[in-house]
A and B are shown apart, each in its own frame.
Chain A
């Protein structure tokens, strides 16, 4: 199933300054009983978002309920996505509307689930992560720009404390997954994109 192409993501962000966020928080198990990948976003962080599972009672202290924070990017503290390997965690974040997640460490399986589902995981240094959180505390309208082609992430604008300019760093991503995300490919789309090469190779066998 093809995904939206990812290239440059420039947006405000939601700061989730909590470490060791596990996938049971991202999408509680009781919502896993579905036969399609759609609709998980409304249950993203369900038990952190609502009192007693009641959508009429949003918890005011949770970032997704704070209107000053919005955008295509979720920024979380280290060891994001640990615990259960449920792929639904990546689906829920994507379905909610995030295009990228930034953290100083991702649980390995979550990271791969994200990459396989059009959600870009960006691993930054702990120091840069803290600067992102500080920038958002100073000004919730601060924007981040992620450039997948260039593999860079920047905090935009002079509002960034103590720098007066953009602040950024490079990030790593597997070359294969980068190609897939730039083109909106899943694994099958990628194979189909090189079908001619495969056929030619097979002809030589």
Chain B
């Protein structure tokens, strides 16, 4: 599937990667965004990229510039969204499609699409949540900022600039897991690790970590984890773990307050 439009074009390369990364949650094999100046600037100077300004670079650049869908390209389906109307999102259920705006209430069975009804009661029973209740203000036990979806250097910088000078809530465990060793090194070089440490966050080994609970980073049964990863399936973060998927900033806000929080209220 292809993502396009002015909101997409205004995004950084790493933000675009997050969106494309989530394509599979809709059943897509891959997601793509046509390359533009932001893409070319991102590639320039990176390992394995041809030296900028050289003949090879110019040749490649010309080829990349041809990689876009024709204006009259036919798609099986097209969806249009007004990005200005999208508030910070969070999930309440056990698949990534079960999401709402942070200030909205969990849907009731009669208000959701008929196709989505069968799983609602089962999901909410697993999550210990109820139809029609608010998600904002709900207690959080763990905060996981990590995974291939949302733990690039830009995500960590954003979180660091938000938490600088703040302290995590005393009853919340906060894990920061860089998406890769490279990101970890960069974060340390920029002193971001010190900001996390001062806030009471734990910087853990880069890797998949609590995204899927394959190593020791598991969420205990029945506990709520606000997580920047891509999946909230039953038991995904540990047997019985309850996952609320959200963005890095929304997760960081919960780390400070200890409850699901609309980060915009803390930014203003």
Contacts and interface: CB of A to CB of B under 8 A. Distances in A.
Contact of B213 (A29, A107, A108, A109): A29
B233 A25 contact: yes
Given A30-B213, A84-B212, A108-B29, A24 B234 contact: yes
Interface in A6-31: 18-20, 22, 24-25, 28-30
A84 B119 CA distance: 19
A89 B131 CA distance: 32
A33 B95 contact: no
The CB with the most chain A CB atoms within 10 A, among B213, B231, B235, is that of B235
A53 to B, nearest CB: 6
A25 B213 CA distance: 13
A82 interface: yes
B61 interface: no
A83 interface: yes
- B-side binding surface: helix, strand, loop or mixed? loop
B231 A24 contact: yes
B236 interface: yes
Contacts of B25: 83
B235 A109 contact: no
A20 B126 CA distance: 15
Nearest to B118: A19
Interface in B1-42: 24-25, 27, 29
Interface string A57-100: 00000000000000000000101001111000000000000000
A47 B214 contact: no
Contacts of A33: 214
A191 interface: no
B212 A24 contact: yes
Indicate the size class of the contact surface on chain B.
10 to 19
Contact of B235 (A18, A19, A47, A108): A47
Contacts of B214: 29-30, 32-33
B95 A22 contact: yes
Interface string B212-240: 11100000000000000001011110010
Interface string A28-60: 111011000000000000010000110000000
Given A24-B212, A29-B236, A30-B214, A84 B118 contact: no
Interface residues of A, number: 23
A19 B119 contact: yes
Given A30-B213, A53-B239, A83 B29 contact: no
A30 B238 CA distance: 9
Nearest to B212: A29
Contacts of A30: 213-214
B235 A28 contact: yes
Contacts of B213: 29-30
A137 to B, nearest CB: 16
A22 B96 CA distance: 11
Contacts of A109: 24, 29
A82 B27 contact: yes
A107 B236 contact: no
Nearest to A31: B214
Nearest to A85: B24
A131 to B, nearest CB: 17
B9 to A, nearest CB: 28
Nearest to B122: A18
A107 B235 CA distance: 20
A20 B95 contact: yes
A189 to B, nearest CB: 25
Contacts of B118: 18-19, 77
A37 B95 CA distance: 27
Contact of A83 (B119, B122, B233, B239): B233
Contact of B27 (A25, A77, A107): A107
A60 B4 CA distance: 49
28 contacts: A18-B122, A19-B118, A19-B119, A20-B95, A22-B231, A22-B233, A24-B212, A24-B231, A24-B233, A25-B233, A25-B235, A29-B213, A29-B214, A29-B236, A30-B213, A47-B235, A53-B239, A77-B118, A79-B27, A82-B27, A82-B95, A83-B25, A83-B95, A83-B233, A84-B231, A85-B24, A108-B27, A108-B29
> Which 10 A/B pairs are nearest by Cβ-Cβ distance?
A29-B212, A24-B233, A22-B233, A29-B214, A47-B235, A24-B236, A19-B118, A20-B95, A47-B239, A83-B233
